[in-house]
Structures are given as structure tokens and as C-alpha cells.
Amino acid sequence: MLKDKYNMTQEQNIFLAKRNIVDSIYKSSHIEGIDITFPETQKIFDGGNVSKLRIDEIQTINNLKHAWMFVLNSINNKNDLNLLKLINSIVGSNLVDNAGNKRNYNVSVGGTDYKPEIPDEKKLKNILMTQLVIHLKQ
């Protein structure tokens, strides 16, 4: 009988996240337009420096690392908008104005014509509640 590889325990999920954390940061840094290799990402993750990168690029990679560590250490916290704002404040620390608060200006997604709407906090809370109800029913 085949084991359901998509139905993992919390411990298995944490193990997988920790095992893939540098790869996730590496891929996320490319989405942010940072030209970096996997070994360079690992070096920064381990506290090193990569001279070809700008300070804000290194900051981005470190912020992603700190956000991952926070998420892994907060695994049993209530998943709500306040937690998401806190994670966002870590990711955007020293990089974006008002990190951790609702964005109130237009942005674009690099390489596409997509321009996400300015978030509506009431709508976000409703989406989170809907997802929570769906999750609890499963």
C-alpha cells in the first residue's frame, strides 16, 4: 500500500521545512530579483558575506531566514492576521516602509503586468476565517 506523502505529521512538516529552508530562501531571493547562487545563499544563511551583493540584498536574505526561524518557533501560535503581520514585519524589516502593516500604495510583480489591489483588512480577516473553517472541517 502506498503511503500518503501529502498527509504528514507536524514533526514531518517541520523537518521538511528545516531541510529545505535554504532552498526556499534561494528561490525567494530570485523572485526578488537577487542574482545569487545556492552556495552563496547558504553562506549568508550561515552568517557569511557575499561581496558582489548590495547590503539590501543581503538584508533580504537574512530577513527571510529570520522569518523562517520565527515561523518554525511559532508553529503552535494562533494563525491570524496579527501573526501574518508580524511575519511580514520580519520579512520587510529595514527594507520597506511600514513593514508589518497593511500596504497602502500600488505595487507591481516583476516580469508580469499584474498589479495586486491594495489589501482590505476586513476582506483579509474574512479570507482567514474562511480558510480556518475549511481547515477545521477536514
- pLDDT band for position 45 (cuts 50, 70, 90): very high
Are 37 and 53 contacting, i.e. CB atoms less than 8 angstroms apart? no
Radius of gyration of the chain (CA): 17
- Scanning the chain, the segments in alpha helix (DSSP H) are 10-19, 21-31, 38-45, 55-73, 81-92, 121-137
Residue 77 CA, chain-centre distance (Å), reads 16
**C-alpha to C-alpha distance for 68 and 109, rounded to whole angstroms:** 22
Q: Which of 2-6, 95-99, 119-123 has the highest mean pLDDT?
A: 95-99
pTM over 0.85: no
Are 88 and 100 contacting, i.e. CB atoms less than 8 angstroms apart? yes
